[in-house]
Amino acid sequence: AVRLLWFRRDLRLADNPALHAAAGTGAPGTGDHGGGPVLPVFVVDPVLWEPAGPARRAYLARSLRALDEALRGQGSGGLVVRYGDPSTELPRLAAEARAEQVHAAADFGPYGRTRDDSVQRALGEVPFVRTGSPYAVAPGRVTKGDGTPYRVFTPFLRAWTDHGWRDPLPVPEGVAWASASSGGLPEEPDSGVPQLPPAGAEAAYDHWAAFRDNGLADYAQLRDRADLPGSSRLSVHLKFGEIHPRTILAETDGPAAGAAKFRSELAWREFYADVLWHRPESGRDYLDTRFKTMPYDQGADAEEEFDAWREGRTGYPFVDAGMRQLLAEGWMHNRVRMVVASFLVKDLHQEWTRGARHFMHRLADGDFASNSHGWQWVAGCGTDAAPYFRVFNPVTQSRKFDPDGDYVRKYVPELRGIPGAAVHEPWKLKDGLPTGYPERIVDHAEEREVALARYSAMREGS
Ligand code: FAD
């Protein structure tokens, strides 16, 4: 009898343990569930689709198209797409197809867990089998000797490495596919879509292979440089599971500095997922609850400043370049993410949750765990938090990580006429600011003092 294979954030056929489990290939670690024709399905859930924002929706639409083609290439009738609440749509499809099992990779996010529980209930007698996850080591698996979770990254990294992971699985051969009526692939949103990289598992693997061969060796030295293509830009492919971290880790073996640094960055993604699994409320709420008492700016001026930040009009070139890169590409360099987040929290004194929501709306790689915890790290209330009193200076940061100003000039056309590093402080130009580029909306040195004073007051109050 038919088995549904429900794709969520694992839009690939290679190294897909749930596909092996559904097809009953007997591959290691995929259980013995028998076997049967596989009916591949994706449910467009309005709860996730509506708030995803144009970049993530467009990317997902493209990635689903690529998955559909890959399935057809394997002899399937294509991806069945249904629209609505999964706990209504899946039981309906299971009944239509007379499916005996539903298979998926496990989801560890707070919404995914609740949704999966209600899908399981709604399926009644039909088992909902979860095999594999979007991580090399599933959240919750790496614990201290006493069974409690790690709260700091470095010991987590050690234990995660020691835990290890299995080898990647191939695309199974000779799978029998079932088909059903489909609501059709979702349309890409027609406005506000940034320039996005090619989507799909094939593009993801090609992209990884090119980085592995040309970028990995220098990754440790160059990853922080905003002006150079020093990082992998794999985040959107990992977000949608077009490539599994296991595949990457299997090809990133060895002690070389670039490979080691890259593995540890992948481990940050796993660490944040683990933290969110243990503390699901930390996706929206302060991990360090003392910070709840911190006063934040509100009112008309704060709204104007937020708009200036969002649109890249703060008068600080590095911040503006980052915010405009986000709008143009649905991606921002990690170093710049830290600087713009610090600017919102510590120069504009606004809550990290507000910035995190904007990022989630704009990022193609928007990932609830990495985003919320990246923001909390910068705001000083997260795991391993940068101490609150370390306030990023947007000018020093730009001089260091965009030494000749190429990154700023790429994203801020008003500043293109300014050569070299002078672009980082256009207010010092003897001819004044170039036409169209704004004055600084705040004075960094002053706002730093304000942030520190509020921080001291909060600590004394707690
Ligand atoms: P690389 O440097 O090539 O790293 C390889 C992979 O490791 C990344 O693709 C990513 O999967 C993982 N990784 C690297 N750094 C981190 C990190 N600090 N935390 C978690 N995973 C990491 N990453 C997201 O994937 N989605 C988000 O929504 C997100 N929001 C962030 C918000 C803030 C405020 C900050 C400071 C960081 C955020 N990050 C997020 C982490 C990081 O900025 C991106 O993963 C990285 O910039 C992606 O580019 P890359 O693929 O070239 O990274």
Please provide the DSSP assignment of 197-213 as one string: PPPSHHHHHHHHHHHHH
Tell me how far apart the alpha carbons of residues 39 and 37 are, in angstroms, rounded to a whole number. 7
Q: Determine the distance separating the centroid of ligand 1 and the alpha carbon of 271, expressed in angstroms.
A: 12
Tell me how far apart the alpha carbons of residues 195 and 210 are, in angstroms, rounded to a whole number. 20
Quickly list H helices, 164-281. Answer: 201-214, 219-222, 235-239, 245-250, 257-278
Quickly list H helices, 50-125. Answer: 53-73, 86-97, 110-123
352-362 and 368-379 helices, crossing angle to 10°: 150
Any ligand 1 atom below 6 A from CB of 235:
yes
The residues facing 82 across adjacent strands are: 43
Any ligand 1 atom below 6 A from CB of 367:
yes
Tell me how far apart the alpha carbons of residues 163 and 160 are, in angstroms, rounded to a whole number. 5
Contact in structure between 165 and 249 (CB atoms under 8 Å): yes
The domains located in the chain, with CATH, are 3-133 (3.40.50.620), 135-168+202-278 (1.25.40.80), 289-461 (1.10.579.10)
- Res 462: pLDDT: 62
Q: Determine the distance separating the centroid of ligand 1 and the alpha carbon of 414, expressed in angstroms.
A: 29
- Res 90: pLDDT: 98
- Res 316: pLDDT: 98
pTM of the model: 0.97
Any ligand 1 atom below 6 A from CB of 233:
yes
Any ligand 1 atom below 6 A from CB of 56:
no
Q: Determine the distance separating the centroid of ligand 1 and the alpha carbon of 266, expressed in angstroms.
A: 8
Any ligand 1 atom below 6 A from CB of 338:
yes
Any ligand 1 atom below 6 A from CB of 76:
no
- Res 387: pLDDT: 76
| Per-residue tens of pLDDT for the chain, all 462 residues | 999 999 999 999 999 999 999 999 999 999 999 989 999 999 999 999 999 999 999 999 999 999 999 999 999 999 999 999 999 999 999 999 999 999 999 999 999 999 999 999 999 999 999 999 999 999 999 999 999 999 999 999 999 999 999 999 999 999 999 999 999 999 988 778 889 999 999 999 999 999 999 999 999 999 999 999 999 999 999 999 999 999 999 999 889 999 999 999 999 999 999 999 999 999 999 999 889 889 999 999 999 999 999 999 999 999 999 999 999 999 999 999 999 999 999 999 999 999 999 999 999 999 999 999 999 999 999 987 667 788 999 999 999 999 999 999 999 999 999 999 999 999 999 999 999 999 999 999 999 999 999 999 888 876
Mutate-to-test residue for ligand 1 from 252, 334, 350, highest number of ligand atoms within 8 A of CB = 334
Contact in structure between 394 and 448 (CB atoms under 8 Å): no
Q: Which atom of ligand 1 is nearest to the CA of 235?
A: 9
Q: Tell me the HSE value of 413 on the side-chain side, using a 13 A CA sphere.
A: 2
Q: Which atom of ligand 1 is nearest to the CA of 368?
A: 28
- Res 122: pLDDT: 98
Contact in structure between 239 and 365 (CB atoms under 8 Å): yes
Greatest alpha-carbon pair distance for the chain in Å reads 77
Tell me how far apart the alpha carbons of residues 382 and 84 are, in angstroms, rounded to a whole number. 35
Atom 29 (ligand 1): residue with closest C-alpha?
371
Q: Determine the distance separating the centroid of ligand 1 and the alpha carbon of 237, expressed in angstroms.
A: 12
